[in-house]
Chains A and B, each alone.
Chain A
């Protein structure tokens, strides 16, 4: 083999091994939010429904059509405040699910905060645990919703009011999933996941046990 072919072989090997192809090809169901906003962490979002059901309106804005679920997560931050500015442009409303993951997601797993024009309610594993008849969404009006996950505790704040503070034994996850009710159009803007605590893969029971020296 001539010497001049060796760099080409190395190039070929690098090309094959660096996964370059996956990096440059389009992924129409994935979004990165807050990429140009330096103050906040980047939120990875994935459309779990038809690719046309979510429109990326900007760096921090998604228009979600009816019966659509968008998973949002940051890297390893399991205790955090999820901050959304919600505008229901049409239809019934939106459901925010947390303490669950996008993998094998079902709307009846985890905790969900349902924010609709006919009132709001919180479910845990599909069971309604709190109802708020006076917390209504108004079509076309903007409202700020914050979901705080900290340890066993979580709270839901609509506008300036903490409407619910609860505890759960469900593990905290990186995710908040926004799912729209049928025929709804919901605009989410100003999304921010404010980190409180980052999970550490050295803090698993197995890894901790491995570090113990007898």
Chain B
């Protein structure tokens, strides 16, 4: 499906931008101007004896009395030694910033024409009938459409005499997918949105009702009005219940429309969505320095990667099947949320995508897996040990029991040593495009121990003192 290709390109673009941004600056938050920096300059005078005094009388005779100062200029100068001190303070510069959001929609079209996006809009990506209609076969999908947004940004809109919680926002990419037919899909780069939040809960995790109206201009032209019930953000994770209506058109020959004429597309929708690396700040938090912000997770990042050794034939290079590195693992947007029990060290985590490749014909893929672990500081917050068990239930079904030793290099880069055992079922190879699988091969089962060395980029490990439960 064409829109999914474009969407994946934009998602990769967002991740690459974030990763490159972090190389160029100290944080990807600064790359996107998500940080507002305030500076105050102070001048400290160590030594100052300079003094100038002047009394100047107007010329002419006056009755000045007996005691009257005569005109004079008294100047006493000495060196002044001054130091300056510049204090920087950094604040969040956004109400909301989200790397990725997807929503699984129902009611956009009939169940036989629906795209089959699955729960949250991503839990159907690897189903056989996802975005595919085979002639002669009956088809019925629950989630008929989806909404996908990459790099969404909202800033405070201070209008109507500074009315509360209005925002104006945009994003790099948005797709509203009502059905399989490409020409019905509404896609825009830089869509513009007005939102107003009514907070039902003003503590983390926030709960808000958010009416929104937005327009997309290119390549589709559309209006999208919606109301959502938002829960989050908690470690960058959010869930949203949507209801709305979108109407627009694709002109002849644009990205989505290969037909001979313009195609209009209007559809109501309701849906359930999830977003990752999606951070929400209320107005008072915009005036709280970053260093004082509360954090809910032990670890939040964009990308974790590791090369692993296992007893399998190498999936990395067919020319060297006994290479020390037989496979690799990838986690996209990993998040580990601290649980407020037992010293807050137990956590529950997930990631948008998780890939585990032990070797040729031994691989597993996970979408929003569930990970439970224990966070143990070995050396302050610099060296941490993280035993965990991860259950990947879709599209593969396997359990990953492991331990991870993290070395915090900086706020955005970590190194890790990983040891674990994986057991379960792989997905049918036919559901993954062959050009993605490559030398990995096709597998039905996944089992084996592994040892791996990894690197995490744009991945921040938080210290125990930074957790909001410990403040």
Contact = CB atoms under 8 A, between A and B. Distances in A.
Nearest to B289: A103
B267 to A, nearest CB: 25
A103 B38 contact: yes
Interface string B174-197: 000000000000000110000000
B419 interface: no
B130 to A, nearest CB: 22
Contacts of B82: 151, 197, 203
Contact of B162 (A22, A51, A173): A51
Interface residues of B, number: 42
Nearest to A51: B162
Interface string A132-172: 00000000000000000011110000000000000100011
Nearest to B218: A8
B189 A8 contact: yes
22 contacts: A8-B218, A11-B190, A17-B21, A18-B33, A21-B169, A22-B155, A25-B155, A25-B157, A25-B168, A28-B158, A51-B161, A103-B40, A151-B80, A151-B82, A171-B85, A173-B40, A173-B43, A174-B40, A201-B86, A204-B85, A205-B83, A205-B85
Given A17-B32, A22-B155, A28-B158, A171 B40 contact: no
Interface string B135-160: 00000000000000001010111110
A15 B192 CA distance: 12
Contacts of A76: 41
Interface stretch (B44-52, B323-331, B342-350, B420-428): B44-52
A78 B43 contact: yes
Interface string A23-40: 001111100000000000
A1 interface: yes
B84 interface: yes
Contacts of A17: 21, 31-33
A214 interface: no
Interface string A182-200: 0000000000000001011
Given A18-B33, A199-B41, A78 B168 contact: no
Given A12-B172, A18-B33, A103-B40, A201 B153 contact: no
The 8 A-B residue pairs whose C-beta atoms are closest, nearest first, are: A19-B33, A151-B48, A199-B41, A78-B43, A171-B42, A199-B84, A152-B48, A172-B43
A33 to B, nearest CB: 19
Q: Is the interface of B mostly helix, strand, loop or mixed?
A: strand
B17 interface: yes
B170 interface: yes
B39 to A, nearest CB: 8
Contacts of A172: 42-43, 45
B26 interface: no
Contacts of A174: 40-41
B13 A21 contact: no
A203 B83 contact: yes
Contacts of B293: none
A144 B335 CA distance: 60
Given A13-B172, A15-B170, A171-B85, 6 more contacts: A25-B158, A26-B158, A150-B50, A172-B43, A172-B45, A205-B85
Nearest to A151: B48
Q: Select the residue from A21, A52, A205 with max chain B CB neighbours within 10 A.
A: A21
A16 to B, nearest CB: 5
B318 interface: no
A65 to B, nearest CB: 15
A204 B161 contact: no
Given A51-B161, A151-B82, A199-B41, A22 B33 contact: yes
B158 A78 contact: no
Contacts of A153: 48, 50-51
Contacts of B33: 16-19, 22
Q: Select the residue from B17, B41, B162 with max chain A CB neighbours within 10 A.
A: B41
B43 A197 contact: yes
A19 B51 CA distance: 47
Nearest to A76: B41
B426 to A, nearest CB: 30
B159 A26 contact: yes
Contact of B153 (A9, A16, A51, A152): A16
B172 A16 contact: yes
B281 interface: no
A171 B45 CA distance: 7
Contact of A78 (B42, B89, B162): B42
B259 interface: no
A92 interface: no
B13 to A, nearest CB: 6
Contacts of A21: 153, 155, 168-170
B9 interface: yes
